[in-house]
Structure 1
Amino acid sequence: MSHKRTLATVNAATITQAHGGGGKAMKDLIDDVFIRAFGAPEDTLEDQARLALEPLCRAGDRLAMTSDSFVVKPLFFPGGDIGSLAVCGTVNDLAVGGALPRYLSCSVILEEGLPVEDLRRIARSMKEAADRAGVAIVTGDTKVVERGACDGIFITTTGVGVIPAERHLSIEQIQATDVVIVNGWLGDHGAAILAARGDLSLETALESDCAALNGLVEALLEAVPNTRCLRDATRGGVATVLNEMAEASQLSIELQDASLPLRREVRGMCEILGLDPLYLANEGKLVAVVPADRADAALAALKRHPLGRDASVIGHAYSGKPGRVTLRTLFGGQRIVDMLVGEQLPRIC
């Protein structure tokens, strides 16, 4: 027999150590912020989410699981915040493996002094992003650390999805002559975060591209079921993803500078600061490798989706030096695009 729970309310304006102590203050915080935003799967909360297997088994023959942590600074930025970033980033990690995202967990580390209203705003943002992606946030955890131990809030999410039986995406399947496609403008997230920090007095209207890509992936795979592989280009940018692809496939990949979709603002910011846009982070961009004879169909499918309107072919794989990525410049020269060494911009996701 279940009993309807009455949700408590947090009266404090900021997070205190008591909110992580396991007592009434912590219960009130969970009730007021997280359960009000996410909803509860059952009237009685347990120490774990209980998920029905039958609908998962009907959707596929393998489970996919991923986990990620988010430490972005600032917490709120043009185009998103740490909450939407956490949901979209985890959904995308599942989607690019061919999985249908279904469930998320959410664990937060809160800094003493964080405004409770900021936490409410982040939780609402997570719920809105989860609803748009068609996933449920079903379990989580809360901890509080002393002032100065973290930048307001760190979020760790784990995602569970199911892979349909006919899907087998892998970077090891890339073949010579395959085409490399991205679904739109590159580097927007990294550039927007850099501008939002305000350290360099840069004025720009750039917004993060933070978005859940599972709908776009489904559209692509429906049109081109023999897509070789997909990856989301987050930390390390497109350059790092392509180096991983080239190494795993033991092929070379050549990019065309003239084909790279870069906003004028991103190019300008990189020129001023000496950054390479190929290494800038993205949070709503995927790299797809498809057979050359299916490139037009892939582009058409992507362009029909709102998140793929600016999709373009940026390069191809070929039987060159194994593991090498190069860029054909606007002047006809060629330069090596290596794996990112170090970190261009820390704390971006």
Structure 2
Amino acid sequence: MKSIRLSHGGGGEETWKLVREIFLKYLENPILSSLEDSALLRVSSKLSFTTDGFTVKPLFFRGGDIGKLAVAGTVNDLAVMGAKPLYMSVAFIIEEGFSIEELKRIVESMARTAEEAGVLVVAGDTKVVPKGQADGLFISCSGIGEVLYEGLSCRNIQEGDGILVTGPLGDHGACILAQREGFDFGEDFESDCQPLWDLVEHLLLTGLRVHAMRDPTRGGLSAVLHEWSHSSGLSFLVKEEAIPIRTQVQGLCEFLGLEPYHLASEGRLVLAVHPEDIHKALERLREHPKGKEARHIGYAIRPESHPSVILETPYGTKRFLEPPVGELLPRIC
């Protein structure tokens, strides 16, 4: 059998075969393998909980696939709250006729990423919908993490805090857009999709005063800074020439009339750090392979009239960085 049938979602022998030969084969652990209606977990501390859906198109892209993205996206939402990822649930919505070999590739990729992130998939579900009622495969995930570092919140950002990013921004969004539209930027250009708990822990172990952290997914850097501005009541001044943007991303945005600061990243962090700890935080981030291109791009400042996000150009002039409006790039994650 080479493709998914409606009977694979019917709860009978075909469903069991799919569970045994794909999901348990790659994701097996004692909790998942018990195959109960719910996972029994033992946690004795404060928890972080998140949920997310993944509909990226194409399902396979340079640097990743929907399986890797689903795990990375879920654990990164936990990590930015100072929570060590522990457990995940995964639900698959599969279109009738979807390739079983492609499903195996996606689940195997998910297993590799979960192992890298140190998270266990402990519950799951599979539904199959008739052909034409979904576009291949959608994934929905929830995650639980143990909060090891409390106090990370956009409401804790203070005037003077430095704004740091852990690497070039917009790679994921540009990669998906380029692949969709048939642009070829060479084999070296790929999505930044990756789990980030190891980088977060590497930084927070130092005790440096990190006030807030966010992964700039949909809406990119602009969305993060506008959300922070709303919540903190502060403005943000960032230097355009300090923001790391790859040449391929800049060129694509110029060609299509897009703002690179609106494009998603799936393996980067934006941080607000106490002004006295900026230099040490940069040094610490750059020690880690996932933070070696970290940059200090700006500051939280007192608003002149209302909270806003301001870009200082290389010429010393300033302009407002507008928030994302409309759906610039659907199905990016």
TM-score by length of 2: 0.97
Aligned-partner SS, 1:180? strand
Consecutive aligned runs of 4 or more in structure 1 exceeding 6 Å deviation: none
Paired position in structure 2 for 1:151: 135
1:278 to 253, 257, 261: 261
- The 5 A counterparts of 1:98-109 are 98-109=82-93
**Unaligned ranges ≥5, structure 1:** 1-11
**Aligned with residue 209 of structure 2, among 219, 222, 226:** 226
Q: Partners of 2:15 and 2:288 in 1: how far apart?
A: 42
Q: Does the 8 Å CA contact 2:170/2:261 hold for their aligned counterparts? A: yes
1:15 maps to which of 4, 26, 29: 4
Instruction: Quote the RMSD (CA, aligned, Å).
Output: 1.2
Tell me the SS of whatever aligns to 2:138: strand
- Cα distance in 2 for partners of 1:228, 1:144 equals 43
Q: Is the 8 A contact 2:208 2:277 kept in 1?
A: no
- Residue 270 of structure 1 aligns to a residue whose secondary structure is helix
Q: Does 1:49 align with 2:33?
A: no
- Please give the alpha-carbon distance, in whole angstroms, between the structure 2 residues aligned to 1:200 and 1:75: 15
Q: How far 1:343 sits from its partner (Å)?
A: 1.8
> Does 2:23 correspond to 1:34?
yes
How far apart in 1 are the matches of 2:220 and 2:173?
9
Distance in 1 (CA, whole Å) between partners of 2:162 and 2:183 is 39
Question: Which SS does the other structure have where 1:255 is aligned?
Answer: strand
Q: Secondary structure of 1:228's partner?
A: strand
Quick one: which of 91, 103, 108 aligns to 1:124? 108
Mapped pair 1:173 → 2:156: yes
User: Any conservation in 2 of the 1:15–1:111 contact (CA below 8 Å)?
Assistant: yes
Question: Separation in 1 of the partners of 2:66 and 2:212?
Answer: 28
Report whether the alignment pairs 1:163 with 2:133.
no
For each residue in 1:112-153, what CA deviation from the matched residue of structure 2 results, as whole angstroms up to 9, or x when unmatched? 111000000000000000000001011100000111222211
- 2:244 counterpart (261, 267, 275): 261
Q: Given residue 82 of structure 1, which amino acid in structure 2 is its aligned partner?
A: I
Alignment of 1:167-316 (within 5 A): 167-197=150-180, 199-205=181-187, 206-316=189-299
Is the 2:29–2:120 Cα contact (8 Å) retained in structure 1?
A: no
Q: What is the DSSP-based 3-state SS (H/G/I as helix, E as strand, rest coil) of the residue aligned with 1:15?
A: coil
2 CA distance for matches of 1:251 and 1:341? 21
Deviates more, 1:180-189 or 1:219-228: 219-228
Partner of 1:110: 94
Residue 79 (structure 2) pairs with residue 95 (structure 1): yes
Counterparts of 1:327-338 in structure 2 under 5 Å? 327-338=311-322
- AA aligned to 2:37 is D
**Structure 1 counterpart SS, 2:30:** coil
Q: Using the TM superposition, give the Cα deviation of residue 339 of structure 1 relative to its aligned residue in structure 2, in angstroms.
A: 1.7
Tell me the alpha carbon deviations over residues 166-191 of structure 1, each in whole angstroms, 9 at most, x when there is no partner: 52111011111110000001010001
Supply the AA of the counterpart residue of 1:120.
K
In the other structure, the counterpart of 1:68 is: 52
Q: CA deviation at 1:224?
A: 4.1
What's the CA shift string for 1:189-244, capped at 9, x where partnerless?
A: 001101111x2544444200001010111111122442101000000001000001
Aligned equivalents of 1:180, 1:151: Cα separation in 2 = 39
Secondary structure of the corresponding residue to residue 168 of structure 2? coil
Residues 240 and 339, structure 1, Cα contact 8 Å, conserved in 2: yes
What is the deviation of 1:35?
Answer: 0.4
Cα distance change on mapping 1:243 and 1:44 into 2, 3 Å: closer
SS at match of 1:185: coil
Secondary structure of 2:111's counterpart equals helix
